[in-house]
Structure 1
Amino acid sequence: MKRRRLPLASMKKPRLDDVETPKKQVSKHKKSRAARKRDLNPEPYSPDDVLHRDILQMIGKEAVDKALVDGSAKNSPLQFHDEVELEILSISSGGDGLALAPAPHPPWVVVVPFSLPGEKVRAKVYRSGLMHSLADLVEVVTPNNELRDQSRVQCKYFGTCAGCQYQMLSYETQLGLKRDVVVKAFKNFSDLPESSLPEIGSTIGSPLQYGYRTKITPHFEAPRQSQRQPLDLAEPKPEWLKIGFNKVGTRTTMDIEDCPIATQTIRDALTPMREGIISKIHTYKRGVSLLLRDSLDMSDLASSLDKHVCITDQKAIVREQVGDMSFEYQAGSFFQNNNSVLEPLTTYVKNAIFAHTTVKPTHLVDAYCGAGLFSIMLSPHFEVVTGIELSADSIRFATRNAELNNIPKGKCTFRAGDAANIFATVKSFPPGETVLIIDPPRKGCDDNFIRQLVEFKCNIVVYVSCNVHTQARDIGMILKKMEGHGDGKTYVVESLRGFDLFPQTAHVESVAILRLVSPVT
């Protein structure tokens, strides 16, 4: 008897939290248990999904599966504004403490910001989700004095502002936690066996832990109709007027007068900017997101590279120095927000490319090149460099930056186009001598891009990521797609480690080096 071939959708590997139960016939007006459970699954690779994996690890797949099937996965045993005493057991990938709801409650996780493993805390529940509740930290009853040192905190808003999570920790501890995030990301999202991955290196730190951020974007809401009248500037600012960042766990703006992780140039400019907004707040009919960006003073470059100004116009030109190279870009466009780490980052990438090379790479392709950071910093080490970027404005600045740094015409070129079609533009490059750098947005690479990458088979792939979870997914896809290409060649993940571009926060970026190897004969 000839077997019926199942459609590909039927052959997909189930999600980690799927329950293998026999299908049942149900009324068309009533969803099956499996359908109800699918509806509860968080968006793949989203922050909710990342938290869900932490929850699975904490309370076990069996308990989660049971709750998903019986419909209790969103039935919190804790009520709104319940105040509970908890023991923090671990830290989530998002930097929040995780605890179990106290007995006799069923398995249920409580997420508490600014809390640390080993601490007993009191927290107040304000929202519930899939197998967890979110709670505000009310009090640290028993602190973990080996980790927590409040004297390290340099911001008066820490503990309320959503920007930073780790100011009470030593920098060494912060870097260790960020390495853990990379480890968990590849365990949970790459679908690769542990044997396919190298030992994940320690996270490389930022030279500056405060005063590093070269861009901030505070915001404010427009006044109501009844509030649109000039303020008496001799009186204290009204309570309703808040210019700053979000309060943790909310979309509510809290008033922020200073931000110590920002550069001194930005901090100095924030006060007069706030005063200007306050003086004319009655003229605003819509809320505004402000921009403050640190730039070299382009009017005085001849005498000094130490003089900085704060740019507040989205369309103005910003100039930065990275090592011996200069970069210009539009203030409202993307450029990394921690200048102090950019030279160590690009140097690390360069050293990793040439570390174990038997055939010296001659060609570099920089996908998602932006204003040309990697292309230009690495150009002295390659014969031909091409950058691809969707934004025509970014290409214009990247081309300008190549000229600014006296890179010979023809050696370093930039092309506007979709990175998904990148390999059509570099088909003349010799794959065995070509390095590809990928630095995509948070969503990572699409299937079409990965398919072309696998077909091109460049010698080395450098994957720089601001979202280690989609990076893990993409690298898993690359290695699996290589298995079906017949010639036996495959990529090995040669090295993998985090980079800390945002000290005092839970965020970590990651650099992976993939090298093409031939089958052993």
Structure 2
Amino acid sequence: MKICAYAKQCGGCQYQGMDYSKQLETKQKLVENLFKHKKCLPIIGMENPYYYRHKVFATFSLSKTKKVTCGIYEENSHRVVPIEDCQIQSEKANLILKSICEIASKLRIQPYNEDRGVGILRHAYLRVGYHTNQILLVLVLGQPVLPGSKEFMKLLREKHPEITTICTQVNKRRTSVVLGEQEKVLYGKGYIEDILCGIKFQISSKSFYQVNPEQTEKLYAKAIELAHINKNDVVLDAYCGIGTISLIVAQSAKEVIGVEVNKAAIKDAITNAKINQIKNSKFYAEDVSYFMRDYIQEMKDINVAIIDPPRAGSDENFLNLLAKLNAKTIVYISCNPITQARDIKVLEKKGYEVTEIHPVDMFPFTEHVETVVLMSKVDK
């Protein structure tokens, strides 16, 4: 087991110092305690639980020696803990962040000072393609212009030619929100591509795409296996994001309907369908509850429903409407088994039973655990 030099200051990894097998055992028990008397299968862990985060945020600061450093906020504070080698972040991302600090110090580009509202470099955001190795870098600035941007990019790309696109965003607000509203592409296309379960996805700075692609492939493969989808099935993918599950499932289904409230995500989903020449998917930018209410009569052909809501879970109105579809199978993916267990009680009252529960470790060294639950319609 590797020792993390930043664990006491950072606080981001609640299970630092715990053997990985013990982490998996702890998460397994957590899920089993939430779903008592139900069939809970062994947790799906990682072979190598290090350097798995392919989405990385960092905040810049100035050291006592006036060098530019970057890291993450100390838990429950806005003090930046300088970190050079985070053991759960992509190794490439760690190296690029270190180079950005060195180049910024050399070119005398100052970090942003939140208290005084002065300075330039505020945050860095990186996306690393797991299968393609393409890298997206977004520099979040405290002012509209990055001084010496051409020299900065030249030096950075000499060190890291694997960076395929560089963007800047401006964020002057006193906020914990990292990204700004407007984006300027300095180099490349402004997005990267990656492959997940054989499907190509276009990923921009604001696209929702899973942080741990290696485990995501296992998670989605398990969800699709449980759904038993065939060429006669019409599938509802609620909270579909950029269409990751929808487009993977579309290869096996008659038709897939994806619903997501975020309009930008739906735009990405439609683009991704075109990139992969998938024609049996439809996407709607609408709140899932309103969509179900308005289209319930037209959705009687749905056989399988896959839902992957945010941490807060689903609302009871949506769950009641979902049950009215009488789909033979519901596969519920969750990043928060506590709200998932609450929602499942609603579906159980509406004629569904839990058949299998599969915990998946998406975030080693943290307390978080993902769960895939298969629910089947009870024959009366």
Asked if 1:319 corresponds to 2:193, the answer is yes
* Native 8 Å contact 2:60 2:112 kept in 1: no
Asked if 1:216 corresponds to 2:65, the answer is no
- Structure 2: gaps of 5 or more residues: 136-160, 168-178, 184-189
Which of these residues, 80, 86, 111, is aligned with residue 259 of structure 1? Answer: 86
Which of these residues, 442, 446, 458, is aligned with residue 315 of structure 2? Answer: 446
Aligned counterpart, 1:419: 288
Aligned counterpart, 2:367: 506
* Native 8 Å contact 1:388 1:415 kept in 2: yes
Which of these residues, 480, 488, 493, is aligned with residue 354 of structure 2? Answer: 493
Q: How big is the shift at 1:169?
A: 2.9
Distance 1:417 1:429 in 2: 15
Q: Secondary structure at the match of 1:218?
A: strand
Asked if 1:401 corresponds to 2:265, the answer is no
For residues 452-498 of structure 1, the C-alpha deviation after alignment (integer angstroms, 9 at most, x for no partner) is: 11222222111111111111111112223x1xxxxxxx101011121
Q: How big is the shift at 1:220?
A: 4.3
Q: Which amino acid aligns with 1:465?
A: S
Asked if 1:168 corresponds to 2:20, the answer is no
For residues 8-37 of structure 1, the C-alpha deviation after alignment (integer angstroms, 9 at most, x for no partner) is: xxxxxxxxxxxxxxxxxxxxxxxxxxxxxx
Distance 1:434 1:477 in 2: 19
When residues 267 and 384 of structure 1 are mapped into structure 2, their CA distance, relative to the original with a 3 A threshold, is same
Distance 1:512 1:283 in 2: 45
When residues 378 and 206 of structure 1 are mapped into structure 2, their CA distance, relative to the original with a 3 A threshold, is farther
Q: How big is the shift at 1:207?
A: 4.5
Q: Which amino acid aligns with 2:163?
A: V
Aligned counterpart, 1:288: 122
* Native 8 Å contact 1:269 1:310 kept in 2: no
* Native 8 Å contact 1:242 1:254 kept in 2: no
When residues 360 and 333 of structure 1 are mapped into structure 2, their CA distance, relative to the original with a 3 A threshold, is closer
Higher Rg: 1
Distance 2:191 2:47 in 1: 26
Q: Secondary structure at the match of 1:243?
A: strand
Asked if 1:473 corresponds to 2:336, the answer is no
Residue range with higher mean Cα deviation, 393-402 or 176-185: 176-185
Higher relative contact order (CA 8 A, sep 6+): 2
Asked if 1:370 corresponds to 2:210, the answer is no
Aligned counterpart, 2:205: 331
Q: How big is the shift at 1:167?
A: 3.8
Q: Which amino acid aligns with 2:213?
A: N
* Native 8 Å contact 1:372 1:401 kept in 2: yes
For residues 61-112 of structure 1, the C-alpha deviation after alignment (integer angstroms, 9 at most, x for no partner) is: xxxxxxxxxxxxxxxxxxxxxxxxxxxxxxxxxxxxxxxxxxxxxxxxxxxx
Q: Secondary structure at the match of 1:291?
A: strand
* Native 8 Å contact 2:299 2:325 kept in 1: no
Q: How big is the shift at 1:348?
A: 0.7
Q: How big is the shift at 1:236?
A: 2.7
Aligned counterpart, 2:145: none
Distance 1:459 1:326 in 2: 30
Aligned counterpart, 2:163: 309
Counterparts of 1:73-112 in structure 2, within 5 Å, are none
Distance 2:54 2:111 in 1: 30
When residues 177 and 311 of structure 1 are mapped into structure 2, their CA distance, relative to the original with a 3 A threshold, is farther
Q: How big is the shift at 1:327?
A: 0.8
Q: How big is the shift at 1:395?
A: 0.9
Distance 1:398 1:175 in 2: 33
When residues 162 and 318 of structure 1 are mapped into structure 2, their CA distance, relative to the original with a 3 A threshold, is farther
Distance 1:421 1:207 in 2: 42
Distance 2:111 2:6 in 1: 27
When residues 288 and 361 of structure 1 are mapped into structure 2, their CA distance, relative to the original with a 3 A threshold, is farther
Distance 1:463 1:512 in 2: 5
Q: Which amino acid aligns with 2:286?
A: G
Distance 2:69 2:164 in 1: 22
Distance 2:25 2:60 in 1: 35
Distance 1:346 1:516 in 2: 21
When residues 381 and 165 of structure 1 are mapped into structure 2, their CA distance, relative to the original with a 3 A threshold, is same
For residues 88-137 of structure 1, the C-alpha deviation after alignment (integer angstroms, 9 at most, x for no partner) is: xxxxxxxxxxxxxxxxxxxxxxxxxxxxxxxxxxxxxxxxxxxxxxxxxx
Compute the TM-score of the two structures, normalised by the length of structure 1. Answer: 0.57
Q: Which amino acid aligns with 1:425?
A: Y
* Native 8 Å contact 2:70 2:97 kept in 1: no
- Structure 1: gaps of 5 or more residues: 1-151, 187-193, 224-230, 300-306, 483-489
Residue range with higher mean Cα deviation, 206-215 or 289-298: 289-298
Question: Which of structure 1's runs of 4+ aligned residues deviate more than 6 A?
Answer: none
Q: How big is the shift at 1:349?
A: 0.9
When residues 208 and 474 of structure 1 are mapped into structure 2, their CA distance, relative to the original with a 3 A threshold, is same
When residues 426 and 386 of structure 1 are mapped into structure 2, their CA distance, relative to the original with a 3 A threshold, is farther
Number of aligned positions between the proteins: 325
* Native 8 Å contact 2:304 2:327 kept in 1: yes
Which of these residues, 6, 23, 27, is aligned with residue 178 of structure 1? Answer: 27
Q: What is the percentage of aligned positions where both structures have the same residue?
A: 29
Q: Secondary structure at the match of 1:201?
A: coil
Distance 1:477 1:274 in 2: 51
When residues 206 and 382 of structure 1 are mapped into structure 2, their CA distance, relative to the original with a 3 A threshold, is same
When residues 211 and 479 of structure 1 are mapped into structure 2, their CA distance, relative to the original with a 3 A threshold, is same
Q: How big is the shift at 1:208?
A: 3.9
Asked if 1:460 corresponds to 2:329, the answer is yes
Distance 1:324 1:416 in 2: 25
